Each structure stands twice: as structure tokens, then as C-alpha cells.
Homo-oligomer: A and B are copies of this chain.
Amino acid sequence: MTFDSISLPEVANLVVGILGGTGDQGKGLAYRFARAGQRVVVGSRSAERGVEAAAAIAAMPGVTGMVTGAANPAAAEASDVVIVAVPWEGHADTVAGLRQPLAGKVVVDCVNPLGFDAKGPYPLRVPEGSAAEQTESLLPESRVCAAFHHVSAALLADPAVDRVEVDVLVLGDDRDAVGVVSALAGRIPGMRGVYAGRLRNAAQVEALTANLIAINRRYQAHAGIRITDLD
């Protein structure tokens, strides 16, 4: 079995909601999905800021998908797949408040719980194990995956970057949901979604972002990862 022989579902018609879509990572992902032709709803704590961000993204080069904005609950309601890209500080509260609109949906956590001090970045301890497992515990009716942790927000947001050449590690216990998320990653040129284990193995994937930041600082790069020996 090779990477290419893993069949993925058709996802072009799914609406992608992005909670925290006004932050760097959320906005960057919203842009790339809209540029890939996906229908995108940008969620924010305030509907007004969501609408503003959506208008800004819709005006960016190459966007072909419709982009609208809303408050987080309405964005969750309107979407088929919902990416959680809120700051770690408000993560639990935001997620817990959306249990109803997110029930039954594929929810993709991409949050990296990191701290920073004089020595640089380091992973924060999360009682549930990881941000993704916290989401899983708060959304028992949702199909929770983790993905999109290592994608440079700077590259996502740069219209001159045609291809985002990285692998997205997709974690989850629901195989169909993992397939949907992997297929979505594959909609962005250069990106591949690679299944990388169950949700209980999400903590180190989130924490690895600290290492990528250290790499970026040493080499002045926008580091991501590729998995080798997958063709």
C-alpha cells in the first residue's frame, strides 16, 4: 500500500468553518481553503470582526470560494467541518460553549498549547493530555480530529506562495473523519494530509511546534515537516 492508494472522500462541497478565524493561523487557513475553492465561514468572538476578516480574505489574490463571516456559534452552525484555531487561553471556554452547534460534526483542533520565556518556546501541560483531547472531552457528540499544527501562518498568508509544501499530520480515532480532514488538507496545493495516529498521540504533535519555532529562530526559516518514504 502506498500513500496514493489510500482513497479519500470527496470534500469539495463541504463548508469549512474556522473558529478564531481572525487570528494568524485561522486567517491563513481560511485564505488557503477559499483559494482552493472551498466555501469558508470565518468565525470570531464578535460577528462584526468575523465579517470584516471574511471580506479581507475574499479580496485576496486567487480566492474562488465564497467567504463569509459570523460569530463563532453561527459559524459552527453553518459549517460541515469546523477548525478550532482559537488562542489556547480561551480554548476550553470557547469549545465548551459550542457543544450544541458542533454535535455530529467533524471538528479539527489545530491549537498548540505553548509557553514562552527567556529560553524560548516550550509545551504547556494540558490536564486532558492535549488541546485536541480537551476538545474531545468537551464535545462528546462531535468527531474530533487534530491537524494543521505545523503549517506556517506566514506562508499561508503570503499570496506569492503558490504551493504550501508541507505534510499535515492528521490524528483521530474516527477513521472516516480522519479521511475527510486528510482530503481537505489535500485540497491546498503542495499539502498532503497524513494519518499520524490516534488522538492520544496528539500532545507531541502540538508540542513539536515549539521545536519548529526553535528551528525558525536558528535558521530564519518558516519550517514545516514532510514525512519521508511515503510515495
In this complex, the member of A123, A204, A225, A228 whose beta carbon has the largest number of chain B beta carbons within 10 angstroms is A228
Nearest CB in chain B: distance from A53 CB, A? 26
A227 CB contact (under 8 Å) in B122, B223, B229, B230: B223
Taking a contact as CB atoms under 8 Å apart, the answer to whether B1 and A219 are in contact is yes
Given the interface pairs A3-B219, A204-B204, the reply to whether A214 lies near B227 with Cβ below 8 Å is no
Given the interface pairs A208-B208, A227-B223, the reply to whether A218 lies near B203 with Cβ below 8 Å is no
Taking a contact as CB atoms under 8 Å apart, the answer to whether A204 and B207 are in contact is yes
Chain A residues at the B interface, C-beta cutoff of 8 Å: 1-3, 6, 119-123, 152, 155, 165-166, 169, 171, 194-198, 200-201, 203-205, 207-208, 210-215, 218-230
Nearest CB in chain B: distance from A157 CB, A? 15
A211→B146 CA distance, assembly (Å): 13
A219→B182 CA distance, assembly (Å): 14
Taking a contact as CB atoms under 8 Å apart, the answer to whether B119 and A200 are in contact is yes
Taking a contact as CB atoms under 8 Å apart, the answer to whether A214 and B197 are in contact is yes
Given the interface pairs A122-B201, A201-B123, the reply to whether A223 lies near B214 with Cβ below 8 Å is no
Taking a contact as CB atoms under 8 Å apart, the answer to whether B197 and A211 are in contact is yes
Residues of B within 8 A of A201 (CB): 121-123, 207, 210-211, 214
A121→B194 CA distance, assembly (Å): 17
A123→B205 CA distance, assembly (Å): 12
Taking a contact as CB atoms under 8 Å apart, the answer to whether A225 and B223 are in contact is no
Taking a contact as CB atoms under 8 Å apart, the answer to whether A211 and B205 are in contact is yes
Residues of B within 8 A of A195 (CB): 214-215, 218-219
A3→B214 CA distance, assembly (Å): 13
Taking a contact as CB atoms under 8 Å apart, the answer to whether A225 and B227 are in contact is yes
Nearest CB in chain B: distance from A105 CB, A? 24
The contact sample of 7 A-B pairs, CB cut-off 8 A, is: A119-B200, A122-B200, A194-B215, A201-B207, A204-B211, A215-B230, A223-B228
